[in-house]
């Protein structure tokens, strides 16, 4: 069987190997999940919550080893692996396990119409079945955990395909849940690349959850459309930051640097464009250059490393190509812009001054340690440039005014807006995460994320089970006249019309009661 090599992008050494799943076996894996699903669905929410809590404790106990494995496989600094990925995953497990009853209990729907006031009306939540999860390499733990946890908790079976660049973390995630008590066929793993991903979509799952590039997301959407398959797609972004002239420039510059270069810029919600007010451009740009030059690049296993390598060779070549094209268009590299002379896939943290007279590359995701700076005259110009993008994932506003920040946040076109911070909204369990435009379809995290895992069924019960309804056959002239009067009584703006309708409505209602009493007496 063909093997997948996991390569450390900092040293280019092999971290380990795993077996690639033959595409023809994927249907069998999904079939086994379907067979196991009914028993898991019927296992009870309290039992599933206990299992999630046990998996949480296992992750907590192995936090150091798992943080190290994340760093070995995809390169990010060990501090980020622990503080952002492992910590976020532990929190989201506890968040869902603790709130499972609240989120999944029947939700009563009060009815406003006087004809239906006495009815029992509620939403009932039932698992969809077998869910396919296709996850990326840049956040190999937190991204899939934000989907796997609510999927299992709500009673679904999961078939998980991690990225071929981070297969070992994928196996480790499954091991945690199996050790915690999830049945083997309820959580299965498919290892491989695009071929295995396509096979999973065609294998009979009820819904696909994909996180990755917009190009691949479009292909998956088309594949799902042909099958009439539900999907949630969290795709790319070209995320803007708007800096107002009243911002605290020292704090803001530190936040922007972290937001642009955390995880070597390989976040779908990393800052890629900074639109800064012309009044503060000299001071802010000087601070950004100074702080960018202080970033320490190196092996993520070293505790004093700030920025690790890019994830793979293709990413490194993409950065070199972007800088070359930027310079050809007339943009000015302020610092960085080159490959770092080390064995791994290292690239300098880079700031590029991109004047607004040059067409903005707003519809292209950089996804690396390159940030573009564009001075603007005012908030309106910044908003116009930011909203011109075909992406709409995340964004940030930097200002000293609460009122101004919230006003701008409402104007920007994005699924998430942070004011005086960046990126961490994805680690806030309650914060539903979505994209608009070409950045996504559907939700993850929060209560809305869990709703994506279930069929929300509406149930309505009339307690008067022996009552003939007004709107049933046979239709009569008297019925039409009664309904007209009823509509006047309920909805007319004219007080006189409403009063005039009362006798007719009462007469019709009395006749209705009489007919139903006669039917009941005959029973």
The 10s digit of each residue's pLDDT in 259-290 is 999 999 999 999 999 999 999 999 999 999 99
Asked if the structure places residue 352 within a domain, the reply is yes
Burial (CB count <10 Å: 0-12, 13-18, 19+), residue 117: exposed
Contact 450, 464 (CB under 8 A): no
* Same-domain check for residues 355 and 479: no
Catalytic sites, residue numbers:
234, 268
pLDDT at position 174: 98
**Nearest residue to 211 via CA among 152, 141, 133, 263:** 133
Which portions of the chain are predicted below pLDDT 50? none
Q: In the numeric block, which tokens belong to residue 203?
A: 């294998």
Contacts of 335 (CB under 8 A, 6+ apart): 289, 292, 293, 348, 349, 350, 351
* Same-domain check for residues 349 and 322: yes
* Same-domain check for residues 172 and 61: yes
DSSP H or E segment with residue 456? strand 454-461
Contacts of 453 (CB under 8 A, 6+ apart): 127, 128, 131, 150, 151, 154, 156
Please state, in angstroms and as integers, the Cα–Cα distance from residue 485 to each residue in 8, 488, 509, following that order: 76, 5, 11
Q: How many CB atoms lie within 10 A of CB 299?
A: 21
CATH of the domain at 315: 3.40.309.10
pLDDT at position 517: 63
Q: For 223, how many CA atoms within 13 A lie in the half-sphere containing its CB?
A: 23
* Same-domain check for residues 259 and 199: no
**Looking at the 3D structure of the chain, how many domains does it have?**
3
Q: Is the dihedral of CA 109, 115, 120, 124 positive or negative?
A: negative
Contact 445, 432 (CB under 8 A): yes
* Same-domain check for residues 399 and 496: no
DSSP H or E segment with residue 78? helix 78-80
Asked if the structure places residue 436 within a domain, the reply is no
Contacts of 42 (CB under 8 A, 6+ apart): none
**Nearest residue to 85 via CA among 60, 58, 67:** 67
* Same-domain check for residues 176 and 253: no
Phi then psi for residue 44, to 5 deg, are 100, 140
Asked if the structure places residue 303 within a domain, the reply is yes
* Same-domain check for residues 248 and 212: no
* Same-domain check for residues 452 and 385: no
Contacts of 429 (CB under 8 A, 6+ apart): 91, 92, 95, 96, 445, 446
User: How far apart are the C-alpha atoms of 261 and 254, rounded to whole Å?
Assistant: 11
CATH of the domain at 176: 3.40.605.10
Contacts of 523 (CB under 8 A, 6+ apart): 466
Asked if the structure places residue 251 within a domain, the reply is yes
* Same-domain check for residues 301 and 350: yes
* Same-domain check for residues 409 and 362: yes
The 10s digit of each residue's pLDDT in 459-495 is 999 998 888 888 889 898 988 988 899 899 999 999 9
Asked if the structure places residue 203 within a domain, the reply is yes
The range of the structural domain enclosing residue 71 comes to 24-104+123-235+446-458
Asked if the structure places residue 409 within a domain, the reply is yes
**Nearest residue to 245 via CA among 395, 353, 397:** 397
User: How far apart are the C-alpha atoms of 176 and 117, rounded to whole Å?
Assistant: 48
User: How far apart are the C-alpha atoms of 327 and 409, rounded to whole Å?
Assistant: 32
Q: In the numeric block, which tokens belong to residue 262?
A: 């955390």
* Same-domain check for residues 60 and 171: yes
Asked if the structure places residue 4 within a domain, the reply is no
User: How far apart are the C-alpha atoms of 297 and 262, rounded to whole Å?
Assistant: 11
pTM of the model: 0.95
Q: Is the dihedral of CA 215, 221, 224, 225 positive or negative?
A: negative
Please state, in angstroms and as integers, the Cα–Cα distance from residue 205 to each residue in 70, 128, 136, following that order: 28, 9, 19
* Same-domain check for residues 94 and 172: yes
Determine the distance from the C-alpha atom of residue 284 to the mean position of all C-alpha atoms in its chain, rounded to a whole number.
Answer: 32
Asked if the structure places residue 513 within a domain, the reply is yes
């Amino acid at each position: 069987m063909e093997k997948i090599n996991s390569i450390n992008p900092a040293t280019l050494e092999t971290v380990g190997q795993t077996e690639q799943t033959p595409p023809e076996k994927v249907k069998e894996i999904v079939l086994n999940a379907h067979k196991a699903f009914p028993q898991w669905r019927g296992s009870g929410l309290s039992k599933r919550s206990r299992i999630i809590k046990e998996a949480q404790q296992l992750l907590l106990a192995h936090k150091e080893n798992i943080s190290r494995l994340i760093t070995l496989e995809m390169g990010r600094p060990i501090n980020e692996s622990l503080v952002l990925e492992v910590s976020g995953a532990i929190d989201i497990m506890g968040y869902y396990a603790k709130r499972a009853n609240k989120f999944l209990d029947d939700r009563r729907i009060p009815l406003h119409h006087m004809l239906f006031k006495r009815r029992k009306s509620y939403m009932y939540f039932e698992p969809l079945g077998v869910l396919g999860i296709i996850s990326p390499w840049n956040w190999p733990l937190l991204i899939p955990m934000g989907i796997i946890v609510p999927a299992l908790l709500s009673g679904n079976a999961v078939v998980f395909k991690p990225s071929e660049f981070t297969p070992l973390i994928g196996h480790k995630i499954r091991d945690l849940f199996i050790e915690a008590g999830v049945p083997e066929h309820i959580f299965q793993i498919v290892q491989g690349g695009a071929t295995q991903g396509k096979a999973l979509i065609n294998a009979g799952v009820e819904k696909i959850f994909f996180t990755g590039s917009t190009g691949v997301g479009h292909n998956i959407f088309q594949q799902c459309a042909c099958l009439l398959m539900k999907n949630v797609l969290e795709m790319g972004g070209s995320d803007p930051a708007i800096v107002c002239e009243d911002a605290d420039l020292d704090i803001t510059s530190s936040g922007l640097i972290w937001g642009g270069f955390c995880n070597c810029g390989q976040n779908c919600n990393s800052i890629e464009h900074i639109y800064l007010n012309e009044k503060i451009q000299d001071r802010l740009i000087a601070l950004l250059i100074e702080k960018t030059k202080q970033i320490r690049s190196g092996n993520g296993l070293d505790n004093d490393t700030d920025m690790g390598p890019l994830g793979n060779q293709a990413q490194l070549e993409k950065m070199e190509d972007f800088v070359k094209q930027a310079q050809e268009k007339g943009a000015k590299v302020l610092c960085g812009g080159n490959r770092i002379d080390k064995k791994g896939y290292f690239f300098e943290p880079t700031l590029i001054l991109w004047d607004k007279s040059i067409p903005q590359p707003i519809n292209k995701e950089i996804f690396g340690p390159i940030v573009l700076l564009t001075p603007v005259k005012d908030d309106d110009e910044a908003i116009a440039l930011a909203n011109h993008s075909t992406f709409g994932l995340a964004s940030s506003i930097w200002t000293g005014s609460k009122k101004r920040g919230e006003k701008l946040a409402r104007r920007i076109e994005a699924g998430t807006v942070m004011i005086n911070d960046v990126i961490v909204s994805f680690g806030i369990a309650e914060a539903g995460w979505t994209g608009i435009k070409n950045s996504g379809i559907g939700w993850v995290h929060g209560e809305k994320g869990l709703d994506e895992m279930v069929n929300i069924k509406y149930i309505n019960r009339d307690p008067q089970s022996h009552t003939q309804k007004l709107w049933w056959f046979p239709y009569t002239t008297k019925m039409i006249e009664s309904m007209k009067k009823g509509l006047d009584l309920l909805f007319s703006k004219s007080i006189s019309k409403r009063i005039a309708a009362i006798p007719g409505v009462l007469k019709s209602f009395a006749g209705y009661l009489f007919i139903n009493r006669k039917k009941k007496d005959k029973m």
